[in-house]
Amino acid sequence: MKRIQYSVWKKETNNAGGKAKNDAFDIALGLDFAPSYKPSEQRIIRVAQQYLSMQKFRGADAVFMQYPAVDFRLLSRFIKCIESVPCSIALIHDLRIIQGLGTDEGVDEISLLNKFRYVISHNRHMTEFLLKNGCKCNIIELELFDYLHDINREVKGRAGDGSVAFAGNLVKSTFISKLSDVKNVKFNLYGNKGESDFSSAANIDYKGSLPSDEIVYGLEGDYGLVWDGDSVETCSGKNGEYLRFNNPHKLSLYIASGKPVITWSQSAVADFVKSNGIGICVDSLKDLEYLDLSGLYEGFCSNISDIKEKISRGYYLSTAIDKCLNF
């Protein structure tokens, strides 16, 4: 069977988005999806490579693409080349239509996804959105993004103080500026902070920005936080509302780090957190003030270890792709 995947430019981005796409590329490669081209370091050459590689998809038995991964104008050309491919698979990373951002060219994302035979959705909430908005292709649910890492390499152990780690784009996550309103909880922050200054907040410790392949071993704190928006009392605004549908890759980072998770009770990943017993779901971060975080910790750890092992070897994406190939 001739299997091809649309190549991604693998570079260190110090954020979860880059790690997610790099890992998906490697997992698909392990399933014999050959890259369509070897990306150049120079952007102008990569654009040419993308155009020239399109013809390789004609005659393939199975094609795997990460969405969105290319310019929408290039994507339209790609779609034409896979029309006769028996098994075309699109892994969704983000949907701008849900984020409320729209596409730069006014492209109808659902119509584009309908050109694929299979779409890999994050979870049942995203699946319901897709179906409600006219998605007609077969939908497979990922459940959780994998996080390839060395399962035998030591990670930071328990701090013992109920501290909470948050990794991500700290400039985008504006709720960070209000973490000082959450009493008796210490927060360790990782990521790009831009011009933000946390020195006046006694409960915030900025730890810097670490490469996505290294942060998993150096993340400090008892818990990992999945939260977004502009408030600590709920997940509000476009970024907060997006949590109702997507699986943030930071959830996988925390599991890979062996940490229980704290998330918004109305987030899509709350289902996974509750059903697997790996953390706490709250309506407001201020609810943490009344919880014995240190005492609750041990009850989650044994449940995390099995999932940590799975994401270290690409179990979730491999399973989803296998379902597409054998649908």
pLDDT of residue 101: 54
Same-domain status, 12 and 113:
yes
Same-domain status, 92 and 202:
no
Q: Identify the three-state secondary structure at position 112.
A: helix
Q: Is the pLDDT of residue 183 over 60?
A: yes
Average pLDDT of the residues in 253-277? 98
Quick: pLDDT tens for 102-141: 555 546 899 999 999 999 999 999 999 999 999 999 999 9
What is the rounded distance in angstroms from the CA atom of residue 315 to the CA atom of residue 142? 10
Domain boundary among 126, 141, 156: 141
pLDDT of residue 88: 97
Average pLDDT of the residues in 253-260? 98
Same-domain status, 263 and 206:
yes
**Number of neighbours of residue 29 by Cβ within 10 angstroms:** 14
pTM for this entry: 0.94
Residue with tokens 């390499």: 153
Residues 6+ apart with CB under 8 A from 10: 21, 22, 25, 39
126: buried, middle or exposed (CB in 10 Å: 19+, 13-18, 0-12)? buried
Q: What is the mean pLDDT of the chain?
A: 92
C-alpha pair distances (Å), 91 with each of 64, 176, 225: 8, 30, 25
Same-domain status, 210 and 130:
no
What's the CATH code of the domain at 74?
A: 3.40.50.2000
Task: Report which of residues 101 and 27 the model is more confident about.
Answer: 27
What is the rounded distance in angstroms from the CA atom of residue 23 to the CA atom of residue 27? 6
Same-domain status, 94 and 197:
no
The confidence band for 277, taking pLDDT boundaries of 50, 70 and 90, is very high
Same-domain status, 186 and 292:
yes
Q: Is 273 left (phi over 0), alpha (psi -120 to 50) or beta?
A: alpha
The confidence band for 99, taking pLDDT boundaries of 50, 70 and 90, is confident
pLDDT of residue 11: 66
Same-domain status, 15 and 111:
yes
Task: Tell me, yes or no, whether 152 lies in a domain.
Answer: no
Task: Tell me, yes or no, whether 155 lies in a domain.
Answer: no
Q: What is the DSSP string of 140-191?
A: EE--S------TTS------SS--EEEES-TTT-GGGGGGGGSTT--EEEES
Domain boundary among 89, 108, 141: 141
pLDDT of residue 261: 98
Task: Tell me, yes or no, whether 326 lies in a domain.
Answer: no
pLDDT of residue 194: 87
C-alpha pair distances (Å), 8 with each of 28, 34, 43, 46, 66: 12, 12, 12, 10, 8
Task: Tell me, yes or no, whether 151 lies in a domain.
Answer: no
Same-domain status, 222 and 131:
no
Residues 6+ apart with CB under 8 A from 96: 68, 102, 103, 109
pLDDT of residue 14: 59
- Per-residue HEC secondary structure of 253-319 comes to HHHHCCCCEEEECCCCCHHHHHHHCCEEEECCHHHHHHCCHHHHHHHHHHHHHHHHHHHHCCHHHHH
Residue 98 structural domain: 3-141
Task: Tell me, yes or no, whether 199 lies in a domain.
Answer: yes
Question: Which contiguous run of DSSP H or E holds residue 128?
Answer: helix 124-132
The domain total for the chain is: 2
> Mean pLDDT lowest for which of 6-10, 119-123, 150-154, 234-238?
6-10
Same-domain status, 307 and 181:
yes
The confidence band for 8, taking pLDDT boundaries of 50, 70 and 90, is confident
Task: Tell me, yes or no, whether 147 lies in a domain.
Answer: no
Quick: pLDDT tens for 9-50: 766 555 555 899 999 999 999 999 999 999 888 888 888 888
Task: Report which of residues 74 and 115 the model is more confident about.
Answer: 115
The confidence band for 73, taking pLDDT boundaries of 50, 70 and 90, is confident
Same-domain status, 116 and 179:
no
What is the rounded distance in angstroms from the CA atom of residue 24 to the CA atom of residue 153? 21
DSSP designation for 57: G
Task: Tell me, yes or no, whether 322 lies in a domain.
Answer: no
Same-domain status, 82 and 8:
yes
Task: Tell me, yes or no, whether 319 lies in a domain.
Answer: no
